[in-house]
C-alpha cells in the first residue's frame, strides 16, 4: 500500500475512534438512579478477640498420681461429670483407720458411761469420795469427745476419698488440659504454691469481646446497642451481639486513645472459639425503610456550578431556580407557623425588631437558613463575594473582610458554618443537613434542595425534597471531570498539529533535481 494512503487511513481511523470516545463520554456524563427505600446502619468499627465470660481453673483436692483420664480438650461436660481419677490408696487407708478409731472411741464411751453410772450409785451411798465421783464424770466427757473427734476424722477421710474422683464444677467446655495419665499432682490445700491446675474450663454458650473503640466514636456508644461481629473463620456469616458496658479507663496504643467496650455474643453452637480475632461494628445509628439516595448525588453550593456545566445547564439559571424555590418555601413556612396561633408570629416579629434595634441585619443562606450578618456587612456584599468566589474572580478588600467576619461569626456560633466543602458530607448519626441534587423532570435535569439525615457513607436518608417517584443524577467528581477535559484538550492539540507516529506526506510531488555526475 502506498505510504501516503496508509498514513491517511490510520489518521482517519484514529480520529474516528477519538470522536467515538468523546461521544461516549458526553453521553455518559451522569447516571440516573431512582430514589428508593433502604435500611441504613451507621457503625463504629473496632477490633478485639473472643474470650469466655467465665473461665475456671480445675484443681484436685487430692494429691497423688493420675490413674484415670475421662475427658480431652474440647469436650463439652455437664456439671458433676467425672473428669479424672487420682490414686486412692492413701485416702482409702486413712478412711479405714478413721473407721477403726471411731469404733474404739465408741467402746471407750460405753465403758465410761457404765463407770459413771456405778460411781453415781456409790456416791449416793457415800461409798466413794467426791473426787472419785468427779473423776468418773471427767472420763465420760473425754470419751464422748473422743467419739466426736473420731466421727469428724471419718467424715474427712470419706471426703478425701471422694476427692480422688475429680468432677466438673460447672457445665462447660474443656479449653485446656495440662496433665496426662501418670502425672503426680499436688493439692492446693497442702501445697503453698497453689497446687496443680489439671484443666481449664469455660462456658462458651455466651462469649464476649473487649473491643477497642477510638475516642472519636466512644461518645456515640451506649450499653444495649446492637453489634455485628465477623471472624475470619466464617467470613460470610455475621454474628449478632450487644454492648454490655464501656470501661472508664482509656488505653493508649501508638499515641491513639481508645476505650474498651465489652460486647456479649450468644454462642449456642460454640462456633466462636476463645482467641479468635474479630471485627466489631457497633450500630450507633439505624433507619429502617428510609427514603435514601446515593451520597455521590449530593451537591453543595460550592460545586453546584461545576455540576450544572457537566449537565449542560447555565450555572446562573440553576442559582436562580434554587433561589426561587427557597422563596416559595418561605411564605409556606410562615403560614404554617401562623396556623398554630399568633404567638409564633409575634415572637418572630419581636425577634426581628430586636435585631433591627441592635443595628444588625439578616440574610437567607443557600440552604434556606436565616442568619444574622456581622455589623457593617450587608447582604449585597456577601452575595457579590460569594458569586465572585464561585466564578474564580478576585475579591475586593471589602469583600474579603466581609467573608472573614462571616466565618468568625459562624465559628463563634458553634459549627464553622456547617459546610462540608467540595461536595463532601459529614459522617453523622442523624443530624439534619441541607444539600442540592439534580433530578429529571420532564426529561430535563433540575436542581432540588433537600434535607438529609442519617448516612452510612454509601447512601443518605432523605427527609424532605424528594419522593419515591423521583430520580436523582449521579455525576462524576469535579477532579475527574477536569482531568477528562484536560485529556480532551490535549488530544485536540495533538490532532491539530499532526498525529504522532504518522509521517505527514506532502500534498504535491516535487520533481527531483537532476544532477550531472562529474568525472574525477
- Sorted by sequence, the CB contacts under 8 Å of residue 71 that are 6+ apart come out as 77, 81, 83, 84, 174, 177, 199
Which cell numbers in the block locate residue 257? 486513645
- pLDDT at residue 83 in the model: 94
- pLDDT at residue 18 in the model: 46
- Computed on alpha carbons and rounded to an integer, the radius of gyration of the chain in Å comes to 45
Residue 395: CB atoms within 10 A of its CB come to 15
Which pLDDT tens digit goes with each residue over 150-203? Answer: 999 999 999 999 999 999 999 999 999 999 999 999 988 888 788 899 999 999
Which pLDDT tens digit goes with each residue over 450-484? Answer: 989 888 778 899 998 898 888 888 876 554 555 55
- pLDDT at residue 494 in the model: 55
**Residue 246 reports pLDDT greater than 80:** yes
Which pLDDT tens digit goes with each residue over 210-232? Answer: 999 988 888 889 899 999 999 99
How does residue 329 score in pLDDT terms, banded at 50, 70 and 90? low
Mean pLDDT of 357-386: 64
**Residue 445 reports pLDDT greater than 50:** yes
User: Which residue has 475527574 as its cell numbers?
Assistant: 480
Q: What fold does the segment set 88-163 form as a domain?
A: Helix Hairpins (1.10.287)
Which cell numbers in the block locate residue 366? 443557600
The overall average pLDDT reported for the chain is: 77
288: part of which helix (H) or strand (E)?
Answer: strand 277-294
- pLDDT at residue 478 in the model: 53
Which cell numbers in the block locate residue 229? 461481629
Nearest partner of 311 among 198, 475, 443, 200, judged by Cα = 475
Angle at 206 between CA 205 and CA 208, to 5 degrees: 145
How is 225-244 classified by DSSP, letter by letter? -EEEEEETTEEEEEEEEEEE
- Sorted by sequence, the CB contacts under 8 Å of residue 282 that are 6+ apart come out as 43, 44, 45, 46, 211, 213, 217, 221, 225, 226, 227, 243, 261, 263
Residues 71, 492: Cα–Cα separation, whole Å: 80
Chain region(s) in the chain for CATH 1.10.287.470: 88-163
How does residue 396 score in pLDDT terms, banded at 50, 70 and 90? confident
| Cβ-based burial of 344 (10 A; exposed 0-12, middle 13-18, buried ≥19) | middle
Amino acid at each position: 500500500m502506498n505510504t501516503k494512503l496508509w498514513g491517511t487511513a490510520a489518521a482517519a481511523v484514529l480520529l474516528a475512534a477519538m470522536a467515538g470516545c468523546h461521544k461516549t463520554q458526553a453521553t455518559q456524563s451522569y447516571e440516573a438512579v431512582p430514589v428508593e427505600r433502604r435500611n441504613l446502619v451507621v457503625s463504629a468499627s473496632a477490633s478485639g478477640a473472643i474470650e469466655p465470660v467465665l473461665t475456671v481453673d480445675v484443681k484436685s483436692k487430692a494429691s497423688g498420681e493420675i490413674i484415670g483420664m475421662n475427658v480431652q480438650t474440647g469436650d463439652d461436660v455437664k456439671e458433676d461429670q467425672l473428669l479424672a481419677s487420682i490414686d486412692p490408696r492413701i485416702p482409702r487407708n486413712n478412711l479405714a483407720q478413721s473407721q477403726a478409731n471411731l469404733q474404739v472411741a465408741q467402746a471407750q464411751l460405753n465403758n465410761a458411761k457404765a463407770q459413771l453410772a456405778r460411781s453415781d450409785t456409790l456416791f449416793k451411798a457415800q461409798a466413794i469420795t467426791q473426787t472419785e465421783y468427779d473423776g468418773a464424770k471427767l472420763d465420760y466427757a473425754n470419751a464422748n469427745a473422743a467419739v466426736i473427734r473420731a466421727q469428724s476424722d471419718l467424715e474427712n477421710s470419706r471426703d478425701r476419698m471422694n476427692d480422688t474422683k475429680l468432677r466438673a464444677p460447672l457445665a462447660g467446655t474443656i479449653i485446656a488440659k495440662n496433665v496426662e495419665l501418670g502425672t503426680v499432682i499436688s493439692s492446693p490445700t497442702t501445697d503453698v504454691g497453689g497446687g496443680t491446675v489439671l484443666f481449664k474450663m469455660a462456658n462458651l454458650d455466651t462469649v464476649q469481646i473487649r473491643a477497642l473503640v477510638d475516642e472519636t466514636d466512644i461518645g456515640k456508644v451506649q450499653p444495649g446497642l446492637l453489634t455485628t461481629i465477623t471472624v475470619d473463620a466464617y467470613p460470610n456469616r455475621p454474628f449478632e451481639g450487644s454492648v454490655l458496658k464501656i470501661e472508664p479507663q482509656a488505653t493508649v496504643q501508638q499515641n491513639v486513645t481508645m476505650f474498651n467496650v465489652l460486647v456479649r455474643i450468644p454462642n449456642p453452637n460454640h462456633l466462636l472459639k476463645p482467641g479468635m480475632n474479630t471485627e466489631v461494628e457497633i450500630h450507633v445509628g439505624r433507619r429502617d425503610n428510609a427514603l435514601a439516595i446515593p451520597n455521590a448525588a449530593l451537591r453543595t453550593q460550592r460545586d453546584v456550578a461545576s455540576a450544572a456545566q457537566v449537565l449542560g445547564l447555565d450555572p446562573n439559571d440553576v442559582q436562580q431556580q434554587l433561589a426561587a424555590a427557597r422563596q416559595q418555601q418561605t411564605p409556606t413556612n410562615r403560614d404554617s407557623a401562623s396556623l398554630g396561633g399568633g404567638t409564633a408570629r409575634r415572637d418572630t416579629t419581636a425577634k426581628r425588631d430586636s435585631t433591627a434595634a441592635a443595628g444588625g441585619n439578616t440574610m437567607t443562606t443557600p440552604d434556606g437558613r436565616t442568619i444574622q450578618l456581622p455589623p457593617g456587612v450587608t447582604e449585597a456584599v456577601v452575595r457579590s463575594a460569594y458569586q465572585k468566589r464561585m466564578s474564580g474572580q478576585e475579591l475586593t478588600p471589602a469583600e474579603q473582610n466581609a467573608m472573614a467576619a462571616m466565618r468568625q461569626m459562624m465559628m463563634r456560633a458553634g459549627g464553622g458554618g456547617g459546610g462540608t466543602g467540595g461536595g463532601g458530607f459529614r459522617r453523622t448519626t442523624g443530624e439534619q443537613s441541607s444539600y442540592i441534587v439534580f433530578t429529571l423532570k420532564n426529561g430535563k435535569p433540575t436542581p432540588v434542595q433537600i434535607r438529609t439525615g442519617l448516612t452510612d457513607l454509601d447512601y443518605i436518608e432523605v427527609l424532605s425534597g424528594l419522593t419515591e417517584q423521583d430520580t436523582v443524577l449521579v455525576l462524576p467528581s469535579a477532579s475527574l471531570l477536569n482531568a477528562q477535559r484536560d485529556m480532551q484538550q490535549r488530544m485536540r492539540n495533538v490532532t491539530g498539529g499532526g498525529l504522532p507516529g504518522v509521517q505527514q506526506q506532502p500534498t504535491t510531488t516535487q520533481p527531483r533535481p537532476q544532477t550531472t555526475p562529474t568525472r574525477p
